[in-house]
Chains A and B, each alone.
Chain A
Amino acid sequence: MQVSSEKIERKGRWLRNASSTFTAIRFLAPAILVMGVIILFPLINAARLSFFNYELTKPKEIAFNLFKNYSYMVKDKIFWQALKNTVVFTFFTVVSGLFLGLILALVIYELPRRFHGLRGVFLVPWVIPGIVIGYLFMYMFDVEIGVLNYVLQQIGVIKEFLPWLMRNNLAMFAIIITHVWNQTPFYMLMITAGLMAIPEEAREASYLEGANRWQEFRYITFPYLQEIIVISSLLMVIRNFNFFPIIFTMTGGGPAYATTTAVLYIYRLAFERFDIGYASAVGTFWVIILIIVSALYIRTLKERF
Chain B
Amino acid sequence: MRTRAIIVLIFATLLLLNVTTVFAGGGQEGAAEGVTIEFVNWVTAEESTRTPVDDIIDNFESENPGINVKPVPVGFSDILNQLIVMYNAGDSPDLAQAAGPNISILALMGALASADEVFPNDFQEDLVQSAYDLTMLEGTHYGIPWAPGPDGLFYNKDLMAQAGLDPNDPPETIYEFQDVIAKARGPLPSEIVVFGFDTTVRMFGFEMTYPFLRAFGATPFKGDKVNFNTSEVKEYMQWMRTSVENKYTLPGKKIGEFRPIAAQGRLVFMIDPSFVKGIVLSINDELTEEEFNKSWGVAALPGDRQGNHYTYASDHQLAVFEASEHKDAAAKLAMHLCNSDYALRNYLLKIGYTPATKSALDRIPEFRQDPILKAFVQNVNDTVVKIPYGPDYGDIVIPFMAGVQEVITTNKSIDDVLAGVQEQIENIK
A: residues with CB less than 8 A from B are: 53, 55-60, 68-69, 72, 75, 77-78, 143-144, 163, 165-168, 252-258, 268, 271-275, 278
Q: Among residues 243 to 280 in chain B, which have CB atoms less than 8 Å away from a CB atom of chain A?
A: 250-252, 261
Determine which of A57, A252, A272 lies in contact with B391 in the assembled complex, contact meaning CB atoms within 8 Å: A57
Query: Would you call B406 an interface residue if the criterion is a C-beta within 8 Å of the partner chain's C-beta atoms?
Result: yes
Please, could you name 25 A-B residue pairs with CB atoms under 8 Å apart, sorted by A? A56-B84, A57-B108, A57-B109, A59-B109, A68-B429, A77-B424, A78-B424, A143-B251, A163-B252, A166-B409, A167-B409, A168-B409, A252-B201, A254-B402, A255-B251, A255-B408, A255-B409, A256-B405, A256-B410, A258-B409, A268-B398, A272-B202, A273-B394, A274-B84, A274-B394
Give chain B's interface secondary structure class: helix
What 9 new A-B contacts, CB under 8 Å, besides A57-B391, A254-B201, A273-B395? A59-B110, A143-B250, A143-B251, A144-B250, A144-B261, A163-B251, A166-B408, A268-B398, A271-B81
Q: How far is the CA of A15 from the CA of B362 in the complex (A)?
A: 89
* B3 CB contacts on chain A under 8 angstroms: none
Chain B hits for A166, CB < 8 A = 251-252, 405, 408-409
Q: How far is the CB of A237 from chain B (nearest CB, A)?
A: 28
Q: Are B409 and A278 in contact (CB under 8 A)?
A: no
On chain A, the residues within 8 Å of B108 by CB distance are: 57-58
| Residues of chain A contacted by B429 (CB below 8 angstroms) | 53, 68-69, 72, 275, 278
Interface of chain B residues 394 through 408 with chain A (CB within 8 A): 394-395, 398, 402-403, 405-406, 408
Q: Which residues of A contact B201 (CB under 8 A)?
A: 252-254, 256
B203: interface (CB < 8 Å): yes
Chain B 383-425 against A: per-residue CB contact (8 Å), 1 yes, 0 no?
0000000010011001000110110111000000000000010
Nearest opposing residue in chain B for A60, CB measure: B110
CB distance from A134 to the nearest CB of B (A): 15
* B186-216 interface with A by 8 A CB criterion: 193, 200-203
Docked Cα-Cα span, A75 to B409, in Å, equals 25
Note all chain A residues with C-beta closer than 8 A to B406. Answer: 255-256
In-complex Cβ contact of A256 among B81, B261, B403 (8 A): B403
**Which B residue's beta carbon lies closest to that of A272?**
B394
Q: Is B427 an interface residue (CB 8 A)?
A: yes
Q: Is B282 among interface residues, defined by CB-CB distance under 8 A?
A: no
Say yes or no: is B74 at the interface (Cβ < 8 Å to chain A). Answer: no
Per the bound structure, the CA–CA distance linking A75 and B105 in Å amounts to: 27
By a CB distance below 8 angstroms, the chain B residues around A143 are 250-251
